């Protein structure tokens, strides 16, 4: 999964989630701008930086997302921060946040930088230790979905979609968050086609997302091509076993794939023989 791009998009569109993640008020995001910063004359690029808009007392947050073991991550991170401070000479204090999927990925030696960790100047966050997805705020639960096991990701995502629709009242934010959940699922299940993803979401949920809208346009084009219907149904039927393994009911599969309920039931019965 392209975790860097997902986190960049998440923090860019929903900066409040970052501040919730580190234990601050979501409203703190109003005082910051988020960007990815390239250090001049080097090959360094910091994953994300939250820069205060005005107040000099507010800290700069340097964010690093690390989903693979890297013995040099702290050598690189502190070099990047030092170069940034030298080149930009900000008056604000700074904090470092490193996000890992779990502790077993955090294998680099911190011997030269132990004081930064002991003082809280640099904080490490392990996503698998945040708690159960269902009990987390919607934004943090979306981050947790990234590391959710494939066997439980669909159930967690469907619950998250329902919570998003109930708890996020601003339509644009709701749509962006639904699309972000959709993107995470697409990365998690790269072999699934559009119809399978529709079934995975539940048709009524997916209608609000970019994938569905693109699918509507695709459907219009498909409708203009004669002789395609039979092949389309065959592909949908081939999807049934995969969706069953993912825990979807016969009713959910029929609705998501636009198939007759009896047609899906017969296919399941034939598979069991």
Between the CA of residue 72 and those of 1, 108, 123, 199, 206, what are the distances in Å?
A: 22, 6, 17, 42, 41
Look at residue 235 and tell me whether its pLDDT is greater than 70: no
Which pLDDT belongs to residue 5? 81
**Matching residue, tokens 């346009």:** 217
Between the CA of residue 266 and those of 129, 237, 242, 273, what are the distances in Å?
A: 43, 11, 16, 11
Among residues 50, 21, 56, the alpha carbon closest in space to that of 34 is found at 50
Between the CA of residue 215 and those of 68, 169, 192, 219, what are the distances in Å?
A: 34, 26, 14, 6
Residue with the larger pLDDT of the pair 53 and 182: 53
What is the DSSP track for the chain? --HHHHHHHHHHH-HHHHHHHTTS-GGGGGGEEEEEEEPTTSS-EEEEEEEESS-TTSPEEEEEE--S--TTHHHHHHHHHHHHHHHH--SS-EEEEEEESSGGG--S--GGGHHHHHHTSEEEEEGGGS--GGGS-HHHHHHHHTTS-HHHHHHHHHHHHHHHHHH--SHHHHHHHHHHHHHHHHHH-TT--HHHHHHHH-HHHHTTSHHHHHHHHHHHHHHTSTT-HHHHHHHHHHHHHHHHHTT--HHHHHHHHT--HHHHHHHHHHHH-
pLDDT per residue as tens digits for the range 238-261: 777 777 766 677 777 776 677 777
pLDDT per residue as tens digits for the range 50-82: 999 987 889 999 999 999 999 999 999 999 999
Q: Token pair for residue 118? A: 């002991």
Which pLDDT belongs to residue 56? 82
pLDDT per residue as tens digits for the range 126-166: 999 998 888 899 999 999 999 988 778 888 888 898 899 88
- Find the mean pLDDT for residues 191-203: 66
Which pLDDT belongs to residue 224? 47
Which pLDDT belongs to residue 34? 93
Of 17-21, 106-110, 155-159, 241-245, the range with the lowest mean pLDDT is 241-245
Q: How far is CA 30 from its chain centroid? A: 22
Cβ contact 79:44 at 8 Å: yes
How is the chain split into domains, by residue range? 3-188, 194-272
pLDDT per residue as tens digits for the range 41-56: 555 677 889 999 987 8
Which pLDDT belongs to residue 64? 93
pTM reported for the whole predicted model: 0.74
Distance CA 169, CA 212 (A): 21
Which pLDDT belongs to residue 219? 45
Distance CA 11, CA 49 (A): 10
pLDDT band at 179 (very low <50, low <70, confident <90, very high): confident
pLDDT per residue as tens digits for the range 204-231: 455 555 544 554 454 445 444 444 455 5
Contacts 24+ apart (CB under 8 A), 268-273: 268/240, 268/244, 271/240, 271/241, 271/244
Which pLDDT belongs to residue 222? 47
Q: Is 232 exposed, middle or buried (0-12, 13-18, 19+ CB in 10 A)?
A: middle
């Amino acid at each position: 999964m392209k975790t860097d791009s997902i986190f960049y998009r998440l923090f860019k569109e929903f900066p409040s989630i970052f501040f919730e993640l580190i234990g601050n008020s979501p409203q703190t995001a109003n005082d910051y701008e988020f960007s990815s910063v390239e250090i001049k004359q080097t090959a360094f690029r910091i994953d994300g930086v939250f820069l205060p808009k005005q107040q000099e007392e507010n800290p700069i947050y340097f964010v690093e997302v690390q989903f693979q073991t890297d013995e040099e991550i702290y050598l690189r991170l502190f070099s990047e921060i030092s170069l940034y401070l030298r080149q930009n000479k900000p008056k604000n204090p700074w904090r470092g946040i490193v996000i890992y999927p779990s502790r077993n990925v955090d294998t680099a030696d911190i011997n030269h930088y132990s004081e930064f960790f002991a003082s809280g100047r640099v904080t490490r966050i392990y996503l698998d230790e945040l708690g159960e997805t269902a009990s987390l705020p919607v934004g943090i639960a979306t981050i947790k979905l990234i590391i959710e096991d494939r066997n439980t990701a669909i159930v967690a995502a469907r619950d998250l979609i329902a919570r998003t629709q109930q708890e996020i009242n601003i339509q644009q934010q709701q749509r962006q968050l639904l699309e972000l959940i959709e993107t995470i699922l697409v990365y998690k299940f790269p072999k699934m086609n559009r119809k399978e993803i529709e079934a995975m979401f539940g048709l009524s949920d997916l209608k609000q997302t970019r994938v569905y809208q693109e699918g509507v346009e695709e459907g219009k084009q498909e409708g203009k091509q004669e002789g395609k219907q039979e092949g389309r149904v065959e592909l949908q039927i081939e999807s049934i076993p995969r969706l069953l393994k993912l825990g979807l009911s016969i009713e959910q599969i029929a609705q998501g794939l636009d198939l007759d309920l009896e047609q899906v039931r017969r296919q399941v019965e034939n598979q069991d023989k």
